[in-house]
Amino acid sequence: MSKPHAPPRPLYKQHSWSPDIHRDEAWLRRKGSNKNSSGLRRNKSVSDDDLEELKACIELGFGFDSPEVDPKLSDTIPALEFFYAVNKQYSNSLSRSSSSSSLMASDTEIESPNTIIDQGEDAELVKTRLRQWAQVVACAVRQSSSIANGA
């Protein structure tokens, strides 16, 4: 009888040093963490890096003013869904404040703060979410004002 062969050892890519190695490794980690059976992100939370990426896109002049979120784009820029939600809320509040019917707006139309924070969450998580929310609001205001100014 012949001796069973051991499975071949996996091949590993030899990494030589480059200035982009940390960025490449972060990209591979992010790419791997976004995969699951349905192709959707498992965790809808947004990281600080995601927010920095969104802010950089807006500062570079990319406009996200279409009415619907493009799924491919939101996979590429994870903070984009959060931005669209905040931007929609900001736009609704602007239109309510500028219309004469804003005095008749019911309390049910106003977003509850509980949509960002769940009851009984860790204080550090609450701080992080509020800080991230404030950053996304700043992005929405910045983009809205640049559109209004025609830039």
Task: Identify whether 142 is part of a domain.
Answer: yes
The two tokens of residue 150 are 């025609």
Is the overall model pTM greater than 0.85, yes or no? no
Domains in the chain, number: 1
Tens digits of per-residue pLDDT, 9-62?
Answer: 777 766 666 677 777 777 777 776 655 434 444 346 788 888 999 989 888 888
% residues pLDDT > 70 (the chain): 66
What span, in angstroms and rounded, lies between the C-alpha atoms of 144 and 58?
Answer: 11
Averaged pLDDT for residues 115-128: 79
Domain that holds residue 56: 48-62+117-151
pLDDT given for residue 8 in this prediction:
80
Task: Identify whether 53 is part of a domain.
Answer: yes
Task: Identify whether 13 is part of a domain.
Answer: no
Task: Identify whether 21 is part of a domain.
Answer: no
Handedness of CA 125, 126, 131, 135 (dihedral sign): positive
Averaged pLDDT for residues 85-97: 74
pLDDT given for residue 82 in this prediction:
86
Task: Identify whether 14 is part of a domain.
Answer: no
Give the number of C-alpha atoms closer than 13 A to the C-alpha of residue 62, restricted to the C-beta side: 11
Task: Identify whether 147 is part of a domain.
Answer: yes
- Concatenating the DSSP letter of every residue in 103-143 gives GG--GGGSPPGGGTS-TT--HHHHHHHHHHHHHHHHHHHHH
